[in-house]
Amino acid sequence: MIPRGTVVSGPYAPIPSSVTRTSVRLGSWFQRHDGVARALAAVATVLGATYLVWRVIVTSTGVDPWLFWPLLAAEAVGYASFVIMVVETWRLPPTPRPPALDTTVDIVIATYNEELDIVEPTLIGALAVRGRTTVYLCDDGRRPEMRALTERLGAVYVTRPDNSHAKAGNINAVLPRLQGELLLVLDADHVAAPDILEAMTGYFADDRVALVQSAHSFRNHNSVMHHESGRHEQSLFFDVLLPGRNRLRSVFWCGSAAVIRLSALREVGGIATVTSTEDFETSLLLQKAGYTLLYHNEHLVQGLAPDNLAAYTVQRARWAEGTLSAFHWRLRMPFGRGVSASQKLSYVGTLLHYLTPVQRLTFAVYVVLVGAYGLVPVAMPGIEGVAFWAAWMLIAGLTATALHRGVTGRVEGVRSLMLSLEPHLRALPALITRRPMRFHVTPKNEPDLGGWEAVRFVRLPLIVALTLLAVLVARGVDTVGIALGGPAVLPPLSLGAFAVISVFSVLDIAVTVQLAVRAHRRRQHRTLWRFPVSLPARVEGLVGQCVDLHQRGAAVVVDRAAAEFATSVELEVECRSVTGGPATARGVLTITSRAAVGPSGARLRIGGPVVWHDDASRDSVSEHCYVVEPYQARNRVWTRRAPRVPVNLTAIVGASDSTCVDVSIGGAAFLTRSAEVALNQRVPIELMLDRGERVSGQLQVRNVTAVSGGLLRVGGVADWSHTAWLARYGAVVHTPGSRERARSQSLRSSRVPVSGR
């Protein structure tokens, strides 16, 4: 979780953490040194196997089998998880954008008790998705305000008589009404990017592809599971593991942000309803039917992460119970006929992930047995044995850091384990019992008041940490007493054994205490995330700058004269629409905070709730914050990282005839004679493609350079009206490598000429 006081500034660009530098500096270094990471992984895999063989042959002599084998089993489980992680993360392939299909897509948003402030941006985003779409809001809450919102925005409102099978039943109820070839499923809080279908529909040119999953990104960077802005606990899964699983064809549906072939879904009987994790279960049905499930490694939706530990625990408990129930000894869904060996390997890794708390508690029990009772479970051959164990631990940790590529650090991984310790343990009975499972919706848009109420959600890790601390203190006191000439109270213990239990205990104690302190100190009173923006604004007619914004509030920097004594002011904010055009939002800002800006104090930063004058203003704010800001921020990043493809296309920049000389998913460069182009200016652009097709957009000018012949070379960030056409001029590839490498990959895979004349 982000420490208290962390400031998130500037618009967040939703891109994979595995391709951008993070605060985990060592891991980020390995993003561009994959060969070193794989070499480490190979050495660690061999060393780990050697260590386990050594444990069996050398350290079992004379040891009580009831002590020896459970510990070895726990270590073997850890090694198996490590090997599966190595296989899955061995190589992260670039992410292509295959040519988009011109097909019909139904967008289904399932909701139950989410409030209007959550669902409204999701609907606005879905309606802004480019393509031939129909948007359905499936409301199991059957609320009049949701019907009114849906009808006002122009979507289709759907209800059903009951709420059987929760989300799965909600989607199944609307399936007979759907007419499209593909289905995009969105959770109620997941706002889609305008180009999500342009990025994902191309995969369905292969008739055996039934589902394409994309990443889940989260807009509330102050959530309980965020490590830093844009990087959170689930980044490892979406930015590293799933891209790697593409090679193994072991991707599964993650409940939202996925495009599904409707005919395939109907073939397997619709959304599965046996477990509470309908996404995982449905994925298994599709794979057993012979279909392929793929992952597209772009962040194309923005959702809400759990705001506090209470919501986090609800979410993790549901995931754990539903997933483990699929592994029930009578069902064994992931191991049935039709599931390939590579898929089974990944699903074993999933099972071991949920069993990790058992392994961790096993180690804790052994610390107590060794430290308090002197029951050593290994025949440790002196300092050499400790050194062998330490070498394996160190290289395994370094390898994990390398293959995680800056997405998560070693301590962060332990902290995440501590957070999920209790909910995962509570879910374990799902492996052997068939008790009915209730679908608990994760609470959203909640405050986090910290204090002891928050600390109680890490009570089990705290109990374990206090127990380990008591053992270490008791052993230390006993050692000091012996040194002072007193009698021994505890059984004797070798220095090597004490060193091993001390390393394990100190790490667990330190991480748990840090986790509890952070949980206690967290204070987040806002329920809606404020988006950092930089937009022209007017306060009582005076020019200002809007610096953060959402559909219920804003903060503006303005001259002191505009708001020094006022309690409320008229506010205008110049937002932007998805098409790049201006959209002015007008309302009344009630001032609840006021602070001087700068040393002179001539300007004030005022903030508070806003009541917008009309629905159009509120919709403009929602579209700008939830759709336009992340979409344009992502394009700005890919402008620098995605391949630029040389072209020669007739174009218009502003009102001047020009030539487009290179394009990318988020940028373009032109040769023009226009003298009216200035830095940071937004100008309309239009390209004439082959076969008479035209594409338009907006260019934010970033550089203007004079070239020969009296021409200007103008480049910048481009917001295209659609991006499907780009694939014809060279494959659009997102890669962690340099732009030069990306460009070479793009040009090698290009299959069409680049001239549009």
pLDDT, tens digit, 9 for 90 and up, residues 522-539? 988 888 888 999 999 999
Tell which wins on pLDDT, 352 or 645: 352
Mean pLDDT of 305-310: 93
What pLDDT band is residue 666 in, cutting at 50, 70 and 90? confident
Report the alpha-carbon distance of residue 504 to residue 74 in Å, rounded: 14
**What does the pLDDT look like over 495-512, one tens digit per residue?**
888 989 999 999 999 999
Q: How far is CA 689 from CA 202, 386, 403, 728, in A?
A: 20, 68, 42, 10
Sheet holding 209-218, edge to edge: 156-158, 132-139, 104-111, 182-187, 258-261, 209-218, 292-303, 191-192
Whether 717 contacts 628, CB under 8 Å: no
Closest CA to 645 of 719, 725, 750: 750
Predicted structure pTM score: 0.89
Task: Look at residue 751 in the predicted model and tell me its pLDDT.
Answer: 36
Token readout for 37 is 């990471």
Residue spans per domain, the chain: 17-90+352-521, 98-307, 531-631, 642-749
**Mean pLDDT, range 392-406, rounded to an integer:** 95
* Structure confidence by residue, pLDDT tens digits, 408-447: 988 888 999 999 999 999 999 999 887 766 777 888 888 8
Secondary-structure class of domain 98-307 per CATH: alpha beta
Is residue 738's pLDDT more than 60? no
Residue 272 has pLDDT above 80, yes or no: yes
Report the 10 Å Cβ neighbour count for 685. 26
- Model pLDDT, residue 737: 47
In this structure, which topology does domain 531-631 adopt according to CATH? Thrombin, subunit H (2.40.10)
pLDDT score, position 632: 86
pLDDT tens sequence across 122-136? 999 999 999 999 999
DSSP helix, strand, coil percent of the chain (3-state; round to 5): 45, 25, 30
Instruction: Work out the percent of the chain whose per-residue pLDDT is above 90.
Output: 69
Give the lowest-confidence range in 7-21, 170-184, 471-485, 588-602. Answer: 7-21
Long-range (24+ apart) CB contacts under 8 A made by 56-63 are 58/379, 58/381, 58/385, 59/378, 59/379, 59/380, 59/381, 59/385, 60/378, 60/379, 61/379, 62/379, 63/376, 63/377, 63/378, 63/379
Ranked by mean pLDDT, the top range of 61-65, 209-213, 417-421, 648-652 is 209-213
Is residue 161 scored above 70 in pLDDT?
A: yes
Does residue 147 surpass a pLDDT of 60? yes
> Among residues 281, 273, 268, which one has the least CA distance to residue 327?
281
C-alpha to C-alpha distance for 177 and 171, rounded to whole angstroms: 11
- Give 604: exposed, middle or buried? Use CB within 10 Å, 0-12, 13-18, 19+: buried
Give me the residue label for tokens 């002015």: 584
Residue 740's alpha-carbon distances to 393, 641, 731, in angstroms, are 37, 9, 14
CA 555 to chain centre: 27
pLDDT of residue 576: 92
Tokens of 267: 């073939």
Cβ atoms of residues 204 and 212 within 8 Å: yes
Residue 381 pLDDT: 67
Most confident among 43-47, 312-316, 321-325 (mean pLDDT):
43-47
Phi-psi bin for 408: left (phi > 0), alpha (psi -120 to 50), beta?
beta
The reported pLDDT for the residue numbered 29 is: 93
What is the rounded distance in angstroms from the CA atom of residue 664 to the CA atom of residue 655? Answer: 22
Query: What is the residue type of 542?
Result: L
Give whole-number Cα distances, 279 to 211, 265, 271, 313, in Å.
11, 12, 8, 19
Q: Are residues 625 and 117 in contact, defined by beta-carbon separation less than 8 angstroms?
A: no
Would you say residue 68 has pLDDT above 90?
A: yes
Average pLDDT over residues 328-348: 91
85 pLDDT tier (thresholds 50, 70, 90): very high
The pLDDT of 87-110, averaged and rounded, is 92
Sign of CA dihedral 212, 132, 756, 680: negative
Query: What is the total residue count of the chain?
Result: 757
Which of 2-16, 173-187, 634-648 has the weakest average pLDDT?
2-16
Q: Distance between CA 209 and CA 130 in Å, rounded?
A: 22
Radius of gyration of the chain (CA): 28
Q: For the domain made up of 642-749, give the CATH fold.
A: Thrombin, subunit H (2.40.10)
- If residue 34 lies in a helix (H) or strand (E), which one and from where to where? helix 34-58
**How many other CB atoms are found less than 10 A from the CB of residue 596?**
12
Tokens of 539: 């306060």
Would strands 667-672 and 656-663 be described as parallel, antiparallel, or unpaired? Answer: antiparallel
Q: What is the DSSP-derived secondary structure letter of residue 628?
A: I
Please report which residue ranges of 374-409 form alpha helices under DSSP H.
382-404
Q: What is the per-residue burial (b if ≥16 Cβ within 10 Å, else e) of 19-48? A: bbebebeebbbbbeebeebbebbeebbebb
The SS3 call for residue 645 is: strand
Q: Average of pLDDT values for 207-214?
A: 97
Give me the pLDDT at residue 437, please: 67
Cβ atoms of 414 and 514 closer than 8 Å:
no
* Amino acid type, 413: G
> Hey, what's the torsion of the CAs at 376, 377, 378, 379, to 10 degrees?
50
Counts for the chain of helices (H) and strands (E), in that order: 22, 25
pLDDT at 1: 56
Specify the amino acid at residue 513.
V
Cα–Cα nearest to 367, from 358, 376, 359: 376
The 10 Å Cβ neighbour count of residue 81 is: 18
Give the pLDDT confidence score for residue 680 in this predicted structure. Answer: 85
The residue ranking higher by pLDDT, 177 or 743, is 177
* Per-residue pLDDT at 745 exceeds 50: no
Per-residue confidence band for 43, with pLDDT thresholds at 50, 70 and 90: very high
- Residue 138 structure tokens: 């499936």
Do 531-631 and 642-749 have matching folds? yes
What are the distances in angstroms from CA 177 to CA 102, 157, 168, 182?
A: 21, 12, 16, 13
What integer best gives the mean pLDDT of the chain? 89
pLDDT tens, residue by residue, 467-476: 999 999 999 8
Report the alpha-carbon distance of residue 720 to residue 318 in Å, rounded. Answer: 40
Q: Is the predicted pLDDT of residue 757 greater than 90, yes or no?
A: no
How large is the average pLDDT for residues 59-80? 94
**Considering only 176-185, 586-595, 632-641, 716-725, which range has the smallest mean pLDDT?**
632-641
